[in-house]
Amino acid sequence: MNMWLQWLLAMTVKSRGRPALAIDGVARTPFIVLPSDIDLLGHMNNGRYLSYMDLARVDMTVRTGMQDVLGRAGIYAVVGQSTMVYRRSLDLWQRFDIETAVLGADERAIYLQQRFVVDGEVHARGVVQGRFIEKGVGTATVARVVEVLEAAGIPVSLPELDQRVHDWAETNRLPSNRQSAPSIWGSRTPR
């Protein structure tokens, strides 16, 4: 199934009617590996994992109430960084769940862990840094996001951010988009 269609279903139908979720809860979102997800090796393509993680985050934000509240405030989330670890492949028609949980936040971003789970076993795991943009303003701080959510009656309880996650984010951070970031490889020249 085309990812556009899955996105539309996730944003309009799939999460509606599922149990409400606290922001510090763990969302479990069910999926199935479709023929359009398979690569030439016969298992789910590594790039599809990131797309499914997007869909699972939509499910989480709908079930926590964040999507509607932040949408009305003109705030939306974007991925700042992500990393994946693959343990076992997912095969055609295999059912799997993505478990999504908040790891913590700093002043600029929220961090999530997402696990691909089959029969209780982790097949892959991703960590995502989510940043927030406020229309007409620019980057929204986590404090601003919390303020908007709590004003709408959504309690926000964020775990303390593990130092390892903070270090990962700092190690992989690129300069601000307002700064120069030339592609320089030292003595090597791209060809």
Q: How far is CA 118 from the centre of its chain?
A: 19
Task: Report the C-alpha gap between 181 and 149 in whole angstroms.
Answer: 34
Strands (E) across 33-175 are located at 75-86, 95-105, 109-118, 121-134, 138-140
CB 109 within 8 A of CB 158: no
Q: Which two tokens stand for residue 94?
A: 């295999």
* Per-residue pLDDT at 7: 63
* Per-residue pLDDT at 69: 96
Q: What is the DSSP letter of 35?
A: G
* Per-residue pLDDT at 178: 83
User: What is the model's pTM?
Assistant: 0.89
Measured from the Cβ of residue 87, the count of other Cβ atoms closer than 10 Å reads 10
Q: What is the DSSP string of 127-166?
A: EEEEEEEETTTEEEPHHHHHHHHHHTT-----PPPPHHHH
Using alpha carbons only, give the angle 136, 138, 143 rounded to the nearest 5 degrees: 115
Could you tell me which of 154, 151, 143 has the C-alpha nearest to residue 60? 154
Strands (E) across the chain are located at 26-32, 75-86, 95-105, 109-118, 121-134, 138-140
* Per-residue pLDDT at 177: 81
In order of start, what are the domains of the chain with their CATH numbers?
Answer: 3-155 (3.10.129.10)
pLDDT tens-place values along the chain, 191 residues long: 566 677 666 666 666 777 889 999 999 999 999 999 999 999 999 999 999 999 999 999 999 999 999 999 999 999 999 999 999 999 999 999 999 999 999 999 999 999 999 999 999 999 999 999 999 999 999 999 999 999 999 999 999 999 999 999 999 988 888 899 889 899 998 98
Residues 6+ apart with CB under 8 A from 167: none
